[in-house]
Amino acid sequence: MHLSKIIFWCEDDSRLKFRHFQPKNVLKGRRAETMRVIKRNGSEVDFDIQKIITAITKANDASVRRELTGEQIREAAEYIRYKCEKMNRAVSVEEIQDMVENQIMATGAFEVAKGYVKYRYIRSLIRKSNTTDDRILSLIECNNEEVLQENSNKDPIVNSVQRDYMAGEVSKDITRRLLLPKEIVDADQEGILHFHDADYYAQHMHNCDLVNLEDMLQNGTVISETLIEKPHSFSTACNIATQIIAQVASNQYGGQSISLAHLAPFIQISREKIHKEVLEEAQMFGVQQDPETIRQVVEKRLHKEIEKGVQTIQYQVITLMTTNGQAPFLTVFMYLNEAKNEQEKKDLALIIEEMLRQRYQGVKNEAGVWITPAFPKLIYVLEEDNVREGTPYFELTKLAAKCTARRMVPDYISEKKMKELKEGNCFPVMGCRSALAPWKDENGNYKFYGRFNQGVVTINLVDVALSSEGDMDRFWKIFDERLELCYRALMCRHNRLKGTLSDAAPILWQYGAISRLKKGEPIDKLLYGGYSSISLGYAGLCECVRYMTGKSHTDPVATPFALDVMKHMNEACTRWSEETNIAFSIYGSPIESTTYKFAKCLQRRFGIIEGVTDKGYITNSYHVNVREEIDAFSKLKFESQFQALSTGGAVSYVEVPDMQDNLQAVISVLQFIYDNIMYAELNSKSDYCQCCGYDGQISIVEDDGKLVWQCPKCGNRDQDKMNVARRTCGYIGTQFWNQGRTQEIRDRVMHL
């Protein structure tokens, strides 16, 4: 027999012994054919026990003594099927192969096991010679389940998205084989850390930024070798802004943020222009030029232009397709106190009001029904003059609350709390949450726009805890070792950007989005001194604390340990910053798909541990576990202490039901945010079934071990015939999610 013909499958759990298993009793009535197996190219196939039987049989026949009987082979295969069923998720080929190896060893058939291990090693070497072909082919055929559900805002069926994913597979292959140290590649594959956006690492690209839209609009810019001068109207400024957004998105891989305050000065320019036109028309028609009548006509036309300009931003951002096959990950910042004078503040309020009105309305889907769009993300700043009844702009906040109740945005930043934490400053996050540290230029002035983040590497805190086996001394020792590994990975990111010439992305480095460097000038000076940031992400604080203390981190007994973990990461970042003059900070990672990756790796390495690894996801950053019963105000207050320590950015949320008829409750939450936490959001529900017209919350149900979306009214399960919007990582997702994230969405309890 030749082992080259064998198809092997598996999981490592030496604590479970084969001799204790009674397969016939346990498996009675179970349907193994409904289980799914993830092949190495990412596609899924039905579980087939006969393949395991055949594999073990051929390995046995290839050994000299044929140590296993037919009954032993059958029982080993049955036990592997049982273990796969208990996992309640699709199992990878590698996991099944590990199980096969363990079961052969458990029977004492060491010669068979030796042959099996040798075969796996040979096949591994062959695969490493070309790691991309199968995955790329599976992308083209649209059967790569891993990629199909990787990003809830990218449709992998579309050619442009496939092209980006195909390029990404090549980039990841080059990155893993040639560009990154093996220890980092191995740690990423084991789920010890996550090296974010490896599909863009081969290029000299950064993560996210605050676009200096003010500089580009006021002083001009260049797009596709064409000079764009200062616009002469608000609508033109909005049009140019969308072109800038598209160009920026195509030259980086993370989110970007713009401020509406940078568009506000063009309201007055349009007002003066319209006023001149109205006077000319009145003179032409011989109409008496009553100043109040003229003013009313001017303001009416100005409002039409504001409506047109905002509509340009909303629809252009949604319909733009950047070079990475998706709409720009854009965040729009709405901060009244950012205006330079009182008139500009009133004009800014007009823009914000129109932005909220249009977002409340939504956009039409292909059936002509108004639905919730994913972008742009909106952030509304709660200030002293808009947060309470009787303040000048409270009506604007009421409109924001109404929009949030229906469309999940805007999110909210407390000016009061941010100023307490950021040296008296209030400014946007980059993308969905990445936050800069205060930085002053050579004149001592704070500067935030035109700054950026170099990249992220996330540490799996749950793995640190489990690797320590609950021993506190070992925990801190392993923690330090893992932090040093993350540091080396982050320095790889930094060094990859080092030496990049401004010519690589002129819109960013030469024409004002980030800077105005000369042609051929390296960007290196922007990587040091705190101008840009680099982020140590973290995930699973909740499960980490539960394993180490036996309690939720919300328990007063366990909270100090959770805070110590946060402080320890901050201390590491401070030390690295002092040693390198690079601005390290800790970042509450959104880990949209990584939450599933980490969970699978933990289950494979440590088995199922109640409250820790017993689900298909781990908890984002410092968040309270989605299944834990807690009210909205207690959750926000509790998480605020962790958010203050997450200096590189984080966002808290509360899960709420349909609040459209209870806006006062939404207002109460917003007022609580203003007084207690820097940055938070409300997760409402906004779905639509195209089959029956149901406008409510689409349900998640289980079917043969797989979670599927189903209309509660007509039972429709076709994802192409429903519109579902959920916030999963700061941004709203609309393209559905992997099984781990779907389980997390299903498990969420209401906080209000």
Task: Report how far apart, in Å, the C-alpha atoms of 736 and of each of 327, 642, 660 are.
Answer: 16, 29, 24
**Which residue in 738, 752, 744, 749 sits closest to 151, CA to CA?**
738
pLDDT at 490: 98
Could you say which of 166, 432, 548, 569 is catalytic?
Answer: 432
pLDDT band at 138 (very low <50, low <70, confident <90, very high): low
> What's the average model confidence in pLDDT over 196-202?
90
pLDDT tens, residue by residue, 603-653? 989 999 999 999 989 999 999 999 999 999 999 999 999 999 999 999 999
Helix or strand or coil: residue 655? Answer: strand
> What's the average model confidence in pLDDT over 214-220?
98
Catalytic residue flag (residue 434):
yes
CA dist 422 and 381 (Å) reads 15
pLDDT at 501: 96
pLDDT band at 26 (very low <50, low <70, confident <90, very high): very low
Structure tokens at 5: 């013909």
Could you say which of 35, 99, 205, 208 is catalytic?
Answer: 208
Using left for φ > 0, alpha for ψ between -120 and 50, and beta otherwise, residue 723 falls in beta
Could you say which of 354, 592, 639, 744 is catalytic?
Answer: 592
Strand partners, 546: none
Task: For the chain, give the mean pLDDT.
Answer: 87
Catalytic residue flag (residue 418):
no
Catalytic residue flag (residue 689):
no
pLDDT tens, residue by residue, 278-300? 999 988 888 878 899 999 999 99
> What's the average model confidence in pLDDT over 1-8?
34
Catalytic residue flag (residue 596):
no
Could you say which of 35, 403, 430, 566 is catalytic?
Answer: 430
DSSP labels, 41-95 = TSBEEE--HHHHHHHHHHHHHHSSS----HHHHHHHHHHHHHHHHHTTS-EEHHH
Catalytic residue flag (residue 468):
no
CA dist 210 and 435 (Å) reads 10
pLDDT tens, residue by residue, 49-93? 998 998 888 888 887 778 888 888 999 999 999 888 887 777 888
Higher pLDDT, 594 or 244: 244
Residue 366 CB neighbour total at 10 angstroms: 7
pLDDT at 729: 65
DSSP labels, 318-354 = HH---TTSS---EEEEE-GGGSSSHHHHHHHHHHHHH
- The percentage of the chain sitting over the pLDDT mark of 90, rounded to a whole number, equals 62
User: Between the ranges 485-489, 716-720, 729-733, where is the mean pLDDT highest?
Assistant: 485-489
Q: What is the dihedral of CA 469, 483, 150, 500, to 10 degrees?
A: -170
Range in 24-33, 284-293, 445-454, 558-567 with the lowest mean pLDDT: 24-33
Could you say which of 512, 730, 733, 740 is catalytic?
Answer: 730
CA dist 172 and 177 (Å) reads 8
Residue 230 CB neighbour total at 10 angstroms: 15
Catalytic residue flag (residue 432):
yes
Length of the chain: 752
Could you say which of 434, 621, 646, 686 is catalytic?
Answer: 434
Range in 216-230, 310-324, 527-541, 702-716 with the lowest mean pLDDT: 310-324
Question: Are 184 and 485 a contacting pair, CB within 8 Å?
Answer: yes
Question: Are 112 and 76 a contacting pair, CB within 8 Å?
Answer: no
pLDDT band at 685 (very low <50, low <70, confident <90, very high): confident
Give the count of alpha carbons within 13 A of 73, CB side only: 20
**Which residue in 65, 100, 60, 105 sits closest to 84, CA to CA?**
100
pTM score: 0.82
Could you say which of 92, 259, 453, 686 is catalytic?
Answer: 453
User: Between the ranges 35-39, 66-70, 407-411, 733-737, where is the mean pLDDT highest?
Assistant: 407-411
Catalytic residue flag (residue 25):
no
CA dist 411 and 680 (Å) reads 6
Structure tokens at 524: 């290196």
Could you say which of 200, 587, 617, 674 is catalytic?
Answer: 587
